[in-house]
Structures are given as C-alpha cells and as structure tokens.
Amino acid sequence: MHHIAIHLTINMTAKWHMGSGEGGLILDRLIKRDSRNRPFIPGSTLKGIIRESCEKLSRTLEFPEPSDPHADDLKYFRPLIKLESPVDRIFGNKFEGGQLFFRDARLENEPPYGFQKTQARICKYRKLGTAKDKHLFSTEYAAPMSFKTIIEGHHRGLINNMKEDLPFEYCLLIAGIMNITHLGGDKSTGCGKTDVLVDSIQYNEKTVPKDTVFEYLELPEYYLDVLETEANS
C-alpha cells in the first residue's frame, strides 16, 4: 500500500474570483464562501486544476496518454493498476474513482478587512469590440491572501524504482501541483495569479525532500518497462 500526504500553502498573489454559482440582487457573480463567510478554495476545484496540470505534464514527458475522464471508452474499464497512464492510476476515471482526496483550502486567520471588491464589467463582441446589449454584469473579487490544504492518497500497485522511493505517479502529481500558476475565473484578464508552495511531503509516514521528485520523472523508460513486464506476467 502506498500512502502520501502533501501539505500545501496556496498564495493568491493577485485579485481572484472563485465562483459560487450564485448571484444576488446587486451582484451577478459572487465568490465562494464558507459558513463563517470566509472565502475558500473547494477541494473539487483543486482536483480538476491539478489533474489538468498533471495531464499536460504527462504528455510533455511522454508518459502514456491519460484517458478523458468524461469519455465512455470501454478500453479504460479495468482496475486502475492495469491502466498505463500514471494520471489515471492515481486520479481514476469514469469507471473507477481514484483514492486521492483533496481538502478544501482554508484561511488560517481571519480575512483582511474589506477583502472583497465589486467590479462592473460588460460583455463585448470580440470581432467588433462593441458592447452587447443587456450584458452589463458585476463580479466580486477577493484580495490576495494565503490558504492551507492537504492532499492525501492511498493506492496499490504504483511503480517505484526502490521500495522506499516515491512512485512515479506521486512524482508526477507533485510536479503538476508545483506547475500551477493560476486559480479561479477571469485568468485571461490577469486574475488568480497563484504561488503554490509544497510545505511537506510524507510518503508512508516518512518525510520526502521535494527536490527528489524531478529525478524520477527523467526515467519514463523505466516506467514503461515495468508496465510491459507486468502486462506479460
């Protein structure tokens, strides 16, 4: 059994919007808040963004292609340990959920006074550059602030070079996390700039230096050789 716990600090370094999906009489787009009226980043949002980052990195490093989590392709209807992609092995797919758990990212202290601001915006025709009729709306943004969260995983059958080494799949996960630069909506307008810090990594209850992650990602051939050996055994 493989167990990992990754402690993160997420620093939002610019104004940001994490939508609640709700609107009010004055605001069309509210930020996500908890029961104490504090802004937070949902674990489900983190999961989607981190998975996308891991998929891009996996393709860059030429690991096997991850499956589309929304596709109905039955070739992926197998136990996760039988799938080739390291992304599928830890995140799961439509047929079987992965044993990777994302906690909501929460503030450690009270948010600063007046942390939210409202900005009126218009929707334009891209080609004409003119405003669309009846498309004035307002968005609530939060000021820069820092959050803490933990990602935990419990998996079987992952691939590592030595028993005490981090599996390739976890190395890809950590590198994908460190590759994130934006969170939330309106990223194209400069919102949501993010600095994600890995505070600590525990693998099977032992602390792992994060710098060792990149050493294993330079060995995709070894990962593929193990997959081939397992398939033929």
**Measured between alpha carbons, how far is 194 from 173 in angstroms, rounded to an integer?**
17
> CA Rg, the chain, in Å?
20
pLDDT for 182 equals 92
Provide the pLDDT for residue 96.
Answer: 75
199: helix, strand or coil: strand
List the chain pLDDT tens, one digit each, 233 residues. Answer: 899 999 999 999 998 888 765 555 445 577 788 888 889 999 999 999 999 999 999 898 888 888 877 777 766 677 777 778 889 889 987 777 778 999 999 998 887 777 767 655 656 666 666 656 666 667 788 889 999 999 999 998 888 777 777 888 898 999 999 999 999 887 777 888 999 999 999 999 899 888 877 777 776 676 777 766 666 66
Separation CA 47–CA 91 (nearest Å): 9
3-state helix, strand, coil in the chain (%, to 5): 25, 30, 40
Annotated domain spans of the chain? 2-110+144-232
Could you give the dihedral angle defined by the CA atoms of residues 31, 9, 52 and 30, in that order, rounded to the nearest 10 degrees?
A: 0
Residue linked to tokens 């009846």: 134
Q: What are the DSSP E strand ranges found in 143-191?
A: 145-155
**CB of 106 within 8 A of CB of 40?**
yes
Triad 164, 169, 173: Cα angle to 5°: 110
Q: Rounded to whole angstroms, how far apart are CA atoms 151 and 198?
A: 11
Is residue 125 a contact partner of residue 72, using CB atoms and an 8 Å limit?
Answer: no
Residue 81 contacts by C-beta under 8 Å, 6 or more apart in sequence?
89, 156, 157, 158
State the DSSP string of 76-112.
G-S-GGG-S-HHHHHHB-SSSB-SEEEPPBB-SSPPP
The pLDDT, as a whole number, for residue 152 is 96
Half-sphere exposure of 165 (CA within 13 A, CB side): 16
Provide the 3-class DSSP secondary structure of residue 209. coil
